[in-house]
């Protein structure tokens, strides 16, 4: 995928080009990823901010052709099963549910999901910077995925991310090919207000 690929997205206000340039395609080329590329993606996630720097995100990854990839893939549901198997890498994004407070007690980390979302977005933007596409999927069988990856107790699964080099939409089935384009967004005044809701 060329970094200069036009998306047709028109921001209403000036914004760094990486934001509208990132989107979630479903078509991937056959190119596999070197381990060093995977490490760069994980490194980006690692530097995300989190409450009290607890860094609750936990990731499990596997490359296409590995048994662990097939195990993660088998947990996907719906259309995800059709297209995500062509990705170079599948990453499971989870978080640890609790933290140890200053009194030494194990308490719920109420920002774990929020923090882990920041880590996923860091990874997605890093992928884009590397000329790769990252596509998050919430469509998976929770119990099956937890079993396949050996999710420890006290952890929550959030999504599976397909990463790879964007391929031609021609390879997709008709219904998915029709949807293979960057989406729009709600107007800013619908999601943000000055002063109060
Ligand atoms: C947490 C999460 C779950 C998602 N689940 C799926 C999914 O199961 N299947 C899918 O094809 N896309 C999934 N998506 C992708 C969204 O549909 C996509 O991000 C959204 O439509 C905005 O489009 P864009 O990422 O191309 O800008 C998911 C995205 C997120 C962040």
Closest alpha carbon to 60 in 155, 167, 165: 155
The CATH number of the structural domain formed by 47-168 is 3.40.109.10
Domain ranges (residues) in the chain: 47-168
The dihedral of CA 167, 170, 174, 178: what is its sign?
A: positive
Helix (H, G, I), strand (E, B) or coil at 58: strand
Q: Which atom, in ligand 1's list, is nearest to the CA of 83?
A: 11
pLDDT digits (tens, 9 = 90+) for 28-58: 999 999 999 999 999 999 999 999 999 999 9
pLDDT digits (tens, 9 = 90+) for 142-172: 999 999 999 999 999 999 999 999 999 999 9
> Ligand 1: distance of its center to the CA of 161 in Å?
10
The residue contributing the CA closest to ligand 1 atom 30 is 136
pLDDT at position 18 over 80: yes
Residue 157: partners with Cβ closer than 8 Å, 6 or more residues away: 92, 93, 94, 140, 142, 145, 146, 151
Helix (H, G, I), strand (E, B) or coil at 100: strand
Strands (E), the chain: 57-63, 89-96, 98-100, 106-108, 133-137, 155-164
Residues contacting ligand 1 via CB (< 6 Å): 23-24, 80, 136-139, 159, 182-183
């Amino acid at each position: 995928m060329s970094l200069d690929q036009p998306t047709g997205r028109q921001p209403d206000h000036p914004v760094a080009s990486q934001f509208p340039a990132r989107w979630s395609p479903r078509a991937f080329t056959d190119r596999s990823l070197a381990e060093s590329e995977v490490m760069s993606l994980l490194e980006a996630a690692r530097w995300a901010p989190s409450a009290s720097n607890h860094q609750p995100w936990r990731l499990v990854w596997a490359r296409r052709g590995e048994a662990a990839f097939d195990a993660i893939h088998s947990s996907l549901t719906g259309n995800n099963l059709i297209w995500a198997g062509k990705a170079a890498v599948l990453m499971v994004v989870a978080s640890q549910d609790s933290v140890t407070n200053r009194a030494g007690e194990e308490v719920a980390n109420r920002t774990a999901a929020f923090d882990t979302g920041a880590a996923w977005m860091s990874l997605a933007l890093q992928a884009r910077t590397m000329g790769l596409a990252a596509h998050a999927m919430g469509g998976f069988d929770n119990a099956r995925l937890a079993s396949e990856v050996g999710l420890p107790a006290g952890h929550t699964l959030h999504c599976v991310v397909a990463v790879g080099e964007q391929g031609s939409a021609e390879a997709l089935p008709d219904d998915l090919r029709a949807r293979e384009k960057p989406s729009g967004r709600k107007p800013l005044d619908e999601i943000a207000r000055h002063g109060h809701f």
